[in-house]
Structure 1
């Protein structure tokens, strides 16, 4: 027979002294293991006189529960301590300045940020629509007819779900914005778009920035000034800008926007194909049918819209001649933009 009180005091000392999970495991085996002090004592109860078994068994059960509780608490403490030590060893002081620059924004991201900052400084807000778009938003509500070639399977990535596709332009953002809020509206919508293109100047995935202004006084002159101010700020020079009559189903009148070639300064080169001009965006007054489709009163409001390719502007700004360089992750190329 053991003295439960004496075993209790000794167990407390042993558990307190255990300073690792391994040592605590040894203490647990000493008292609670198959050959442990308490376990053997419980087995020996059957050898006691009948009148002593109940009282002695009760004392041993209380002792066992006490030791189990102490061991569980100490085990939890040691495990937390171990985790803290590991975390402490891995800790990094993020406030310490780096000795050298270890990375940089991708040129596309730099260009997007530059475009966004310029328009925000001009009073535009920013809206980002979904890349998987409703066909009605991408085509129908933008006044693009059913027979328009842009809807062909060879141009558009259709989703295996009726009515959905990967947007082919950021123009659906016009629809979403006009359905969400009433005029006045002055917003840009940057984002990825998808088309079945793949050559040195085109990619099946690229970036566009859509601009939309709707209010009581928007007009072609207002649009022309906005675009010229943006382009001259973006290229940091007084670049020549011209507007050529064009056609888009969602604007009327419509125009293509050219700038004087920033490579040859208008003298003629391979990039501008000897013309001295480079096309950079499309624009126009929002078609009344598009406004009506979105519930905008055309008796009170009118608007203009413009859209530009981010890769195109980035190639011109940084002097890049192959759009695929943006997506090849070649460090020799990317290090030029640090």
Structure 2
């Protein structure tokens, strides 16, 4: 190939390429033209591959000419692309219109819902925090010792049987781990690791082999513990009364304490509140169990029961939720039904506060 013939061929190629660029009518087409011209297998790349076949005296001139061609073609591509982008934008502006009179879409923050149990969980913590309690937490998987033995629960107690408790396989030393049946092990861990005075609440999930309209294998509890040198039954009754008034958002609440038995408290009581708190006068609602901490439990945690005493209580958060918000079936809590959650759920902005109203 002589330099004269090569120059003529390049001129014809440039005319062809520029014509193709000018004919591109939209952005996808101009992109195809760019790849066909400047891509790794494009027309310009093919020309550069012929350099090695030319005589040495022609290579420099040919290479410079091809580079100049590449520059002109690149400029033409960019200019055509800019024109097509402007035309595409003008078309979008002409076709895409926004009706500013339409209502604003709420979005996930407004449409999302907090589960009623989660809301009650926060409500209870807010109330007890105002009463001077701190929150303590512990693992869901516990040892038999912390879940039962240190709580003064005897080996033959029904709660320790496999029909009531989820056990893991025994370890080599014969000890067994289990899914905690209450949050009381958190109380034990606190007494083992902290010197009195102690004032905590322990909310969390608990597990028992039970399932019907009012029981599920996993549910939620919040337990309270106070240990010091002077706490007595009157303090326990006052705390529970203040909690119930704040939780049910009433000025007065009727309460009755019925004698009961729990291995970890002595004396032990079941607590009922008047149904006036939820707009059903003339009835009583059982809501929790409580009592003075058994001296054996205090002793098991390395404290002197002659010096220290205290009270403990426990209440099911799921039951509180059903009572306060009129939810008839516990199983719906775990159904994952979005219709149910939209009906009973709370806005993410409904943060419980005593100043603003627990459930306002």
Indicate whether the TM-score tops 0.5.
yes
Given the alignment, which residue of 330, 339, 343 partners 1:331? 339
The answer for unaligned runs of 5 or more in structure 2 is 1-5, 8-16, 79-95, 97-103, 347-360
- Counterparts of 2:217 and 2:137, CA distance in 1: 20
User: Of residues 239, 252, 267 in structure 2, which corresponds to 1:238?
Assistant: 252
User: CA shift at 1:331, angstroms?
Assistant: 2.7
Which of 130, 147, 151 is the aligned partner of 2:156? 147
Checking the alignment, whether the CA contact within 8 Å between 2:133 and 2:200 is kept in structure 1 is yes
1:127 aligns with 2:136: yes
**Does the aligned pair in 2 maintain the 1:251–1:284 contact within 8 Å?**
yes
Matched, 1:191 2:200: no
Q: Does 1:265 align with 2:281?
A: yes
CA RMSD of aligned residues (A): 4.2
Pick one of 201, 218, 235 that aligns with 2:231.
218
Residue 302 of structure 1: aligned partner: 309
TM-score by length of 2: 0.66
- C-alpha distance in structure 2 between counterparts of 1:189 and 1:256, whole Å: 19
Check the 8 A contact 1:34/1:40 in 2, yes or no.
no
Partners of 2:137 and 2:203 within 8 A in 1: yes
CA distance in 2: counterparts of 1:57 and 1:175, whole angstroms: 89
**1:155 Cα deviation after fit:** 0.8
Q: Does 1:318 align with 2:325?
A: yes
Change (3 A) 1:27 1:332: closer
Equivalent pair of 1:286/1:305 in contact (CA under 8 Å): yes
Partner of 1:77: none
Question: 2:110 and 2:340 mapped to 1: Cα distance?
Answer: 16
Report the CA distance between 1:124 and its aligned residue.
1.1
Task: Normalising by structure 1, report the TM-score.
Answer: 0.70
Asked if 1 retains the 8 angstrom alpha-carbon contact of 2:116 and 2:344, the reply is no
3-state secondary structure, aligned to 1:207? strand
CA contact (8 A) 1:179 1:294 kept: yes
Give the aligned partner of residue 218 of structure 2.
205
Q: State whether residues 51 and 62 of structure 2, in contact with CA within 8 Å, keep that contact through their aligned partners in structure 1.
A: no
What are the within-5 Å matches in structure 2 for residues 1-338 of structure 1?
23=30, 26-34=33-41, 36-46=43-53, 48-49=54-55, 98=106, 102=111, 104-160=113-169, 162=171, 163-235=176-248, 236-262=250-276, 264-266=280-282, 276-328=283-335, 329=337, 331=339, 335=343
Instruction: Tell me which structure has the larger Cα radius of gyration.
Output: 2
How far, CA to CA, are the matches of 2:29 and 2:170 in structure 1? 59
What is the distance in 2 between the residues matched to 1:141 and 1:22?
79
Is the 2:51–2:63 contact (alpha carbons within 8 Å) kept by the matching residues of 1?
no
| Structure 1 unmatched runs, 5+ | 3-9, 75-88, 90-95, 267-275
